Structure 1
Amino acid sequence: MLTRARGRRLRPGLAAAALTAAALGGLLQPAQAGVGPEPARDRPHHDKRLQQQLERLVAQEDGPPGVIAVLTRGDRTQVYTAGVGDIATGRPPHPDDHMRIASIAKAFSGAVALRLVDQGKLSLDDTIGELLPDQPAAWHTVTLRQLLQHTSGLPDFSADPEFLEIITADPRHVFDSRRLLDFVADEPLLFAPGALYEYSNSDNIAVALMAEAATGRRYEALLKELVYRPLGLRRTSLPQGYRLPQPYFHGYDVAPPAEPEDISEAISASGVWASGGIVSTPRELGAFMRGYGGPELLSEQTRKAQLTFIPGGSSEPAGPGTNAAGLAIFQYTTRCGVLHGHTGNTPGYTQLAATTPDGTRSLTFSINTQTSKSNKPALLARLRTVQENFACALLEGR
């Protein structure tokens, strides 16, 4: 059982399996379904069928203890919840709860990089060799565009045996986030840059390092200046440690027949940094995605490059419908229409944030356990079905 002491291990196999997929308790209370406490004007009629789907999701034996879906249409918001955001207290999820957004952090690094492109401080054709000459010579021809679109060929540091050994022995180990690529510095590229699509956590570490090199400023400061402030994000941050701000949506390892284990603060964010370390809330995540996936944050020219998609390029885990990969953003073509967004999974959490291309509507969908194509694939399949149904509700009437 996980304790707060450093050096303790997670449930056997959890850390290695979870970090590879993410590359990165107590008795379960009866499911509680409800609507978040917004003002009455923000509570339009709820679809009972959608509510029932959330309840069935948390009722699955290996399903999440809780789920929250936030649909925003202009100035109108609907909040659907089922189950609990904290098993110990029975508290339901809330749209202002902090949570780990996992690989949706990659969209934030994309936002920083593309805003710097708009400012003329970066170019999509800039290479690792030009901006990060100390990185391996074999990587020097890789461009910013290829990093953002996961066609770089960089090996994934989060799958490196030495990295996994460290994080398994001490999940709260504090890494030097700017040296994470050192774990794979002796490895060649997996393929010629631009030749294939392969999702890699190393890509967005390199993106953040290139942003720092181009500006002489720390990535965390660039996030505040270029993303948080323009979009009014006050509860979003990139920590180095394992603590979460209060209140938070608790994340769990759910492995029946064992009781769910609270792993919200089990793992240091320093080991994923720009690739997966950001903490936000459902409400602010929606605001971010409306800005980044819509036209608000970027120039028309840069946005055209951002939204040049590679068919078949899936986020991790795959989002609803058919996936295609843009620059730190994905296109989700559902049976009801197209959304732009990103997903993520990390120990304790699986996330989706998506917006209509015009940035006027958004959906965030958060569960407090991890699922991916290699971890609970049946749960992921069910989750994607429910997500698509919520996407259709978001798109209704357009």
Structure 2
Amino acid sequence: MSLPARSTTGAARRRRGVVAAALAAVAVASLAATPVASAERSRPVHDKALQAGLEALVKDGTLPGALMSVRGRDGRVTNYTAGVGDIRTRSKVPTDGYVRIASSTKMFTAVAVLQLAGDGKLSLDDAVEKHLPGVVRGTGAGAAIDGRNITIRQLLNHTSGLTREMPLMPQGILPIRDRYFEARELLDAALAEAPTFAPGQDRVWMYSNAGYVLLGLVAQKAAGRPLAEVITNQIINRAGLEETYYPGPGDRDIRAPHPRGYLFARNDKGEPIPGELVDITRFDPSIAGAAGQMIATPSDVNKFLVALQDGRLLKPRQLAEMRQAIEAPGFPAGWRYGLGTIEMKLSCGVTAYGHGGDADGFQTRTAITSDGRAVTLAVTNDEAGRAEVLDFFDKALCAAK
């Protein structure tokens, strides 16, 4: 469930004209001025250059399918597809289909925590110990880890020093695809891993899924309710997201319609075999938990971010905190990390805010510019074409139409 630098049918399905937007790069004072739901409607006219670029991504078949939702500066939505949704049947990619949004889940987890801060139920500078006394104590190689020395803010911006590894999947997803994991099990495995640095040490940064798993437990404790319920009630329902959900225990499928997700097959040495793909659409996402478990359509991810930027989800102070970004070594040039969101300097000189993620079988990228152009892009192989996907994502955000 890393970032770019590494089944039931929905009852309220489709509303093809629902727009979207992602995180805002706009200043807090200008958020309310961005056109939102009242301007949202579908537009059938496609940008030919964007369609051609999307088709180029899938041309050699290593990325079987691609789907994208674009919210123009005028508030209108255009949905794009390319490639195939199923390499066996050669079916089309469903327009605005459901995908695993992977680490874009971190935006939802961060919003839940920031809402709790806005309600006075926690402070971002609280030690984790205050909310989970005695829980965060390292063992073995992780003996130096101590919740008394880690703050909620450090978890949010990845300066806690918790491991970047996912120790419960040393051989990847295939051997554990049907295994259910409790959040505490994920945390305990991470606490046995050596920390990458001391919390907050000289602004050292290292992406950590374990940190967001821990944030999910903090949010549950502060709210007094399960994290999935908190996210559903306080974010999904409040923003009117009809095609976004947090899979429940045992839910290994993706709601229909959806493209299928793929991995490269591997040889006896564990090396990928180019051109040979394995279907990994169905697996238990609990291995990612609060760091990457959620599922949504591209247009609904954008819709979430519209609600975030227009103040329906966070108070101005908390939204400003969310966008306080720091240097993130290993990310593309011009990218910095805030509290569950990434500040992106685009090739056209514009700043956008968003996130992205790689769940097995799916790559997703999402962001919004200060003037309201939003793009959510998904492709159906998380192991191929990452640089090309990022380059096209930048072009889509910078496009004039």
Quick check: TM above 0.5?
yes
Decide whether aligned partners of structure 1 residues 92 and 50 sit closer, same or farther in structure 2, where only a CA change above 3 A counts.
Answer: same
Contact 1:69 1:81 in 2 (8 A): yes
- 1:61 to partner: Cα distance: 4.8
Contact 2:58 2:83 in 1 (8 A): yes
Which among 174, 179, 195 is matched to residue 173 of structure 1?
179
- 1:114 to partner: Cα distance: 0.7
Contact 1:95 1:281 in 2 (8 A): no
Decide whether aligned partners of structure 1 residues 183 and 100 sit closer, same or farther in structure 2, where only a CA change above 3 A counts.
Answer: same
2:64 maps to: 65
2:268 maps to: none
Contact 1:69 1:366 in 2 (8 A): yes
Which among 323, 333, 341 is matched to residue 354 of structure 2?
341
1:30 maps to: none
Which among 251, 261, 274 is matched to residue 261 of structure 2?
251
Q: What do the CA deviations read for 1:91-119 (whole angstroms, capped 9, x no partner)?
A: 33334421110111111101110111111
1:139 partnered with 2:152 = no
- 1:357 to partner: Cα distance: 3.6
Q: How do 1:305-316 and structure 2 match up within 5 A? A: 305-312=321-328
1:127 maps to: 127
2:80 maps to: 80
Q: What do the CA deviations read for 1:300-326 (whole angstroms, capped 9, x no partner)?
A: 1111211111134566xx5xx621100
The aligned amino acid for 1:198 is M
Q: What do the CA deviations read for 1:132-185 (whole angstroms, capped 9, x no partner)?
A: 122216322111111010111011351x2x542695533211111232111122
Decide whether aligned partners of structure 1 residues 143 and 169 sit closer, same or farther in structure 2, where only a CA change above 3 A counts.
Answer: same
TM-score if structure 1 supplies the norm length?
A: 0.81
Cα distance between partner residues in 2 of 1:283 and 1:185: 37
Q: What do the CA deviations read for 1:288-341 (whole angstroms, capped 9, x no partner)?
A: 1223355442111111211111134566xx5xx621100000011102211100
The aligned amino acid for 2:183 is S
Contact 2:232 2:246 in 1 (8 A): no
Decide whether aligned partners of structure 1 residues 166 and 303 sit closer, same or farther in structure 2, where only a CA change above 3 A counts.
Answer: closer
The aligned amino acid for 1:59 is K
Contact 2:107 2:355 in 1 (8 A): yes
274-283 vs 81-90, which moves further? 81-90
2:218 maps to: 210
Q: Which runs of 4+ in 1 moved over 4 A?
A: 19-24, 36-39, 165-168, 254-258
324-333 vs 128-137, which moves further? 128-137
Unpaired segments ≥5 residues, structure 2: 7-14, 19-40, 139-144, 266-272
Cα distance between partner residues in 1 of 2:353 and 2:66: 21
Q: Taking every aligned residue pair, what percent have the same amino acid on both sides?
A: 31
Give the 3-state SS of the residue equivalent to 2:245 in structure 1: coil
- 1:276 to partner: Cα distance: 0.7
Decide whether aligned partners of structure 1 residues 80 and 21 sit closer, same or farther in structure 2, where only a CA change above 3 A counts.
Answer: closer
Aligned residue pairs total 350
Which among 350, 369, 381 is matched to residue 369 of structure 1?
381
2:55 maps to: 55
Decide whether aligned partners of structure 1 residues 260 and 184 sit closer, same or farther in structure 2, where only a CA change above 3 A counts.
Answer: closer
Larger RCO, structures 1/2 (Cα 8 Å, 6+ apart):
2
Cα distance between partner residues in 1 of 2:185 and 2:103: 19
1:101 maps to: 101
Cα distance between partner residues in 2 of 1:217 and 1:259: 44
Decide whether aligned partners of structure 1 residues 167 and 48 sit closer, same or farther in structure 2, where only a CA change above 3 A counts.
Answer: closer
1:322 maps to: 334
- 1:193 to partner: Cα distance: 1.0
- 1:188 to partner: Cα distance: 4.3
1:16 maps to: none
1:260 partnered with 2:277 = yes
Cα distance between partner residues in 2 of 1:278 and 1:351: 12
Cα distance between partner residues in 2 of 1:20 and 1:244: 20
273-282 vs 93-102, which moves further? 93-102
Unpaired segments ≥5 residues, structure 1: 1-18, 25-35
2:191 maps to: 185
Decide whether aligned partners of structure 1 residues 20 and 51 sit closer, same or farther in structure 2, where only a CA change above 3 A counts.
Answer: closer
The aligned amino acid for 2:146 is W
Decide whether aligned partners of structure 1 residues 169 and 37 sit closer, same or farther in structure 2, where only a CA change above 3 A counts.
Answer: closer
- 1:79 to partner: Cα distance: 1.4
Cα distance between partner residues in 2 of 1:176 and 1:225: 21
Q: What do the CA deviations read for 1:325-361 (whole angstroms, capped 9, x no partner)?
A: 0000001110221110001002111001111246x33
Cα distance between partner residues in 2 of 1:370 and 1:230: 31
Decide whether aligned partners of structure 1 residues 106 and 387 sit closer, same or farther in structure 2, where only a CA change above 3 A counts.
Answer: same
Q: How do 1:375-386 and structure 2 match up within 5 A? A: 376=384, 379-386=385-392
